Structure formats: structure tokens, C-alpha cells
Structure 1
């Protein structure tokens, strides 16, 4: 098979890029290791920045998003006693939208056949070759039968564990990583949210987050040691812990109910450079990971896709290679700013095992400063709603 662009990975990044390229008349194929049901079964974040909402609108695939998404004008930081509201709409003139990553993926997946975007599911043993040339190719197998795709560019949207990043020679690679000493224990339940806006809580017992997927479905988290096991946390124990950590105001509005999903997600900050090598470009989790504090993961993938699509359109439609050459630097400039924000918010709202009285006093001082400073709140709001692309 021959195509102009081979995309590895049919998560939201790969599908979004595929749709953007098809809309511009650029031939592309998406190759995915898993089956659709598995992809749609993964529970992921759901706070969308303007870049993600805008790309879905540009494609005309935002019907459900507009109908079901919850427009959020602010969010809250809690210190165990009070809620500090960050009025994002008034401070920036922008909003975010709560709409699950799974729903974005479903919208993109459902539209692929009618838009003529080929997606090959169940592709095993995916491998990349000749990425330093102008004629890279991808091999894989479906039902044991070997296949090959010849392309001009290969785009790796295959996540942290995929083969794309590993195809870049170690001699040119740089990796930056911070592994956190805790994970987030999440519970999903069909109960109304305790607050119409997200709450990030810093409590002496640890971090907690109250978020939602809809008016009737809530997503809560508490941070736990990496040694903890999901089976040791009954629903009742999680609800009790949330009630303490979120504080009395949030607890008063909390509705308890049986979980429909529970899991523990480890946290890390990770950046891989460069995000382009030869004819290979990386997008999303294949190049960077952020802790979920601040909800940047999917939105960073969307901005990568925006830059990659711009570069590929310039190449194929105007024979302009400059944007391809500059892709990595352009994408990384936004990646590092988002990594910084996620790191700062994680440090502010979590109790690290190595922290002592001084570090705790700094958190208290910072939260007190934020509560009374429009400048500090504006900085947080600008980063939360998404920096310009």
C-alpha cells in the first residue's frame, strides 16, 4: 500500500490528524494495534481547551460536543477550609469544556468511514523503517499476514509505549523525566457532581479532585502511595476519604453511589526531544507525558496535531518544507510551558513524602497569595484555559 502519510495510532491524536489531512485532500492511512472496543473502553480525561474544541468545530464533528459538553467558566483550589475560585472566563475571556476523551475518540472514529479515512485495526508488530530517508515505510501484520505501507511521512501517535519514538536513534535523542511518588486513585460513578466546577484540593491527608463527565456522571480522585492496590479501596472508603480531603463545603454537596470504574494511574512528567527526525514526526503521548493535574494531556496532543497538520499541508500543497523542519521546535515550545504549569500545580496541591514543614508553609503562603491576587489568578487561568498556538 502507498500513501502520503502513514499515521500510527488511532487514539484521539491519530484520528484527529487523519481527519485534518483528509479534509485538505492529503492521502493518509491510520494503523492501530488495538480493536475499537478496547480503545473506547479506556477512561481518560475530559477537560478540553479551546484548541481541541476548535479543531473539532473546524472538522464539523462537534455536534455531540456542543450538545453534551459542559462549558466551564472557572474552577476551584481548596486548602481544606475554603474554596478559592479561579474565574477563568472573566480573567481570560475564554472557557473550557468538559467532554470525555472517550467521547472525542468515538466522534472521530464514527466519522472515519463517511469521511474516507482508512483505519486499520488489529495491526500487530508495527515497525518503522528508513525514517531518515524521503521514502519511509511501515510494516505490520493482520491475522498473521505481513503488510507494508510506503509513505512520504510517518506520524507517531502511538502513545508512550508505542514503536514510533523508539525508531529515533539514541544518538540524537534527549529524554527528561520526573516520576512522582504517588498515583491517582480514580472512581467513576453515575451521580451528580458535588460542585458545578472542578475542585483541586490540598489536604493534610493528601490531594483530591472532584470533576465530572456530565450532569449525572462524576469522576473523583485521591492520591495514594504507589504501593496501594485498587482492591483494598472499597467504594465506601473512597467516598469517606473524598469527603475529608475535599472539605466540608464540597462534601455537603457530594452524592455517593456505586462505582462503575476504579483504577490507579501513576504520575510522571516526561518530554522527548526532538519530536521530528527525518520523515518521522511524533504527536501526543509518544513524545510527552504530563501529570493529569491541569488537564493538559489530550490538549497538548491536539496542539501537536495542529502544528503537524499545518506542516504537512504546507509541504504537500506548497512544496514548503520549512514548517516540517520547524515542527519539533514549535511543538516543544508549547509542550514545555504546559509541562511547567502541570508541574507547578502538582507541587502546589500534593504533599510529597520528602516535604517538611518549610515546603508545607510555602504551599500555604502560595494558596493565600493566589486567593487575594488577581495577577496570580490570571496567570493560572491563562495556563488552565490553554496558551495560544
Structure 2
């Protein structure tokens, strides 16, 4: 990586490093980030736990996680010349939920809160690039590269090591004054900035997230089996979902917030300061039947620039079929399932068959 060249701006060597760090953090907050810490480019401590996770097969079909382990542990291999990593987070809640409360709305299509608005990856990268531009205007040229869940980066570990929060038993990062409803981003830089230190953990003996998980995916504290996790099953996994997991999925058609909603620290959850997280196309209050009637063109139109595109149309319909099977008996649901049977692929049809059987069973139980 090239050294920082001469510039008409103030030279980096002439700026007090602590003062520059404070200024960078202020700029990050000004750009809408909820927090900013400076991390050492070293995540070796995470590697042993991650290898155990892979050994147990808890990553399911996410084979990409098996790759580039050295780069994950040593960010300087991913971006040579990296001296410090600016870690940021964005809150994404539009409305602060009631603490320790899981809504029971069996006919609603539940979409994880982070995914109801614009795809945050674009928002995160754009603002990180703006942050880099501001820093460059102040100190002169330097090397930088933004990331937002887009490369082999142990982003949670880096942020945790620099004091942004601690890893909860559900494996998500928790911040004492803000809870866990936030997304992370990083700016790898060639700047030699002072590093922040870690904070302390505060989960104690609480096991609320483990106990509430609908599919018991948190197999032990700090260890998640993605193969059972509703977020993985409804977003990443493209195959036939095991029948024994379908009832636990309920009406969650894209992701799951239950382990966060029950966490006592989310009584302190903060609202988003960025409009991109505002729900679009009524995705915060849409019914299973409404969304079941989307054809592929409607799906594409209503998910433009949305994280929901990640599932693809057929996998999204598969998820909704499960939700309809889990809904209370409805003659309209049964009719809709039968009517649209031939319009979906074989994987979706497996779940439609199951949903029809579930609805019929409930109908007979009611008579």
C-alpha cells in the first residue's frame, strides 16, 4: 500500500492521533451512524470458535463461510496495508417494540425489521465512502475500503474487540444503552489510529433468547445451529424445509426477531435516524394471503432495492406457504392454496401440500 503523499491539507503526522480519532467519530455520528469505534485489524481470537462452528456443520449450506479463514482472522490479508478499521453501526428500528413481547399475529406475514425498508448494504457502503471522503479532505490521501456484510470479515468480532458491545447468547452483538437492533459496517484504512478497547459482557444468567427460539436453534449459549434458525431457513436456504421445523417457523416469512424481542437489553433499543429503514410497500403490516397472491413480477416490483430479493420468488412463496399452513383454519386460505398450486416449482408445491394438509386437519378439529 502506498504511503500517504504530500497534500495541501494538514498532514496526518501533524494531527494528534487522539484528536483525529475523536473528529472521525464525530463525523460518523453526523452521517447517521449510531456509534463508531476504532478496531485493531486482528480477529485471530475468533478463529477457534468459528472453526468449531464449521466442524459441527452449523453453517448449513453456507459453504462460503468455509473459505478465506486466514483473511477473516487477519484483515491485513484481505486489504494489504490496513492499519486500523473504523467500525460503525446503524440502528434500524422504526418503532421501539415492547420489551420481552413477541407479537401473536397468525395471519400476518412477519418480515424481520431490518428488511422492511431499503437494502441497508447500499446505505452503509455509501455513507462509509462519504466518511472516507471527509477524512481525506482533512488529512490528505490515504487508502480505504468499505464493507457491509460483503466480504470475509469477522465484523462482529472486530466491533466487539473495540468496545461496540458484547456477543449475546443468541450470537448477536448487544450494546448496553442501545440493545441489538442494529447493523454493522467497516472502513478498512491505512491510517494509524489509536485502537479502542473491549467492554464487558452483561448477559449474566439470563437465557431468555435460548428459551424463546421457536426452533431451538441456539443449541448452547453463544452457539447457533443455522440449520434450525428461521433466519437461515427463510433467507439463505433454498431447499425443502424439514417438516419438523415448519410449525416452529409459524408466519415468519423472512427472518426472525424473536431472540432480540425477548432480550431485556432491547428495552433500551434506539430508533433509526435514517429514513431508508422505513417500511416500504406495507411490508410491516401485510397479510399472508395478500402476499401469497403476488406473481413474480409483483414480487420483483415490490422488492426493488430490498433485502427480500435475496430469497428469490419461489423460496419466498415457499415461506408463505408454510405461514398459511400454520395460520388458523380459513376456507379462503385453503381455496387459495389449491388454486395457485400449479404456478409454483416442485419445492414450493411440497410445502403447499403440507399447508393444505395442515388446514384440513384444523378444519376437522373444529367440527
Q: TM-score, normalised by structure 2?
A: 0.26
Identify, as 1 or 2, the structure richer in strand.
1
Q: TM-score, normalised by structure 1?
A: 0.25
Identify, as 1 or 2, the structure richer in helix.
2
